Amino acid sequence: MKGCSLRFYLHETAMHRGGFFTYEQVLALARKQGIHGGTVFKAADGYGRHGTMNEQRMHTLSGYQILIIEFILDEAEADALLKAIQEDDFPLFWAKLPAEFGSFGMD
């Protein structure tokens, strides 16, 4: 199947409305929209638009690690999720990449 990989990049401690972690709210929104799965990854190292390094060894205790939320979905699902996130004013950087995906031995 063809679709896309939709990724969101944020700080681990980023909060959104109601004092909940942004990554939890993004996952909940995707689930509410019927998206079948999403994964949150912790980045080992990296830097953002301001050029500040975010090495894990420096930020493990501070909760300042970078997270990546990834969804593999079709274009319509991606566009609907992006629209919902924009309407709810989430402060997120995102990337949408073409993807070919499938599964083996799953019912």
Q: How many domains does the chain have?
A: 1
- Residue 32 within any structural domain of the chain: yes
Q: Are 66 and 10 in contact (CB under 8 A)?
A: yes
68 falls within a domain: yes
Domain that holds residue 49: 9-98
104 assigned to some structural domain: no
pTM: predicted TM-score of the whole model, two decimal places: 0.84
pLDDT digits (tens, 9 = 90+) for 47-65: 777 776 655 555 455 567 8
pLDDT over 90, % of the chain: 63
The Cα–Cα gap between 46 and 7 comes to 15
What are the tens digits of pLDDT across the range 1-26? 999 999 999 988 888 888 889 999 99
Tokens representing 45? 């190292």
Q: Confirm whether 106 is domain-assigned.
A: no
Statement: residue 34 has pLDDT above 90: yes
pLDDT for the residue numbered 60 = 53
Q: Per the domain annotation, does 2 fall within a domain?
A: no
